[in-house]
Amino acid sequence: MILHQPRSRPAPWSEQRALIRHRWLVPLLAIDWCWEWLAFFLSNWSFLEVLEYLGSFSILIGVIFWFAESGDRVQQRHYQAWQVINTAQGKGGSGGRIEALEELNADHISLTGVDVSSAFLQGLRLPHARLARSTLGAADLRDSDLRFADLTWASLHYTNLRNANLEHAVFDHADLRDCDLSGADLSAAHLDEVDLTNADLHSADLRGIVWQNIAAVAGANLAGVRNPPGGFVAWALQHGAVQNNSER
């Protein structure tokens, strides 16, 4: 808030001149005395006070417009993120997709049906992501965070999920054939109707997985699995799973 206070009337020059002891200071103080008079006249000019208030008002208007347009800025940011993802579709490397995917997910945007096949997305952080029917085939998702992600009907054929955090992820009806899940944390993951043919589960944490309705497990490597639920390993071996200690 601006506090506008009129200035006191400057003393006459004769009084000012009488106080000066050194002759060489006269020109300097004379200039300063002139500026004092100018400041005195301007401080009593109401027009300048009005301009000051208008300046403050314009700042307020700018702030209001900034907040009013925040939705448009967010939409523009989302559009740019999708543009990055779609432009790099089918290509290797990251191409900025890690940042784009994480930004969309942080804003709670659904990633249903996204195609990032063959992309290098190591260390991707998408907890609680909605990735149903997404195509992640042959993507490198090592050390990624996909906790509580919805991967229903997702295609993860040949996907590298080594050491990924997949706690509580939902893989119902997903294609996990030849998927590298070695060292992954699959605690409480849902695996209804999942195809795990030839998947590598070496040293994966299977604590509390929902496995009773797995569709296929032939050739899946269960060597060194940690915390498997009771009956799972025996059932899987009966249906073609193997225990091969040599890592792929």
pLDDT tens track for 4-22: 566 666 667 666 666 666 6
Predicted pLDDT at 70: 60
Say what the pTM is.
0.71
How confident is the model over 125-137, as pLDDT tens digits? 999 999 999 999 9
- Residue 108: CA atoms inside 13 Å, Cβ hemisphere, count? 0
The domain locations on the chain are 13-68, 110-248
Predicted pLDDT at 180: 98
d(CA 94, CA 92): 7
pLDDT at 1 over 50: no
Assigned superfamily of 110-248: E3 ubiquitin-protein ligase SopA (2.160.20.80)
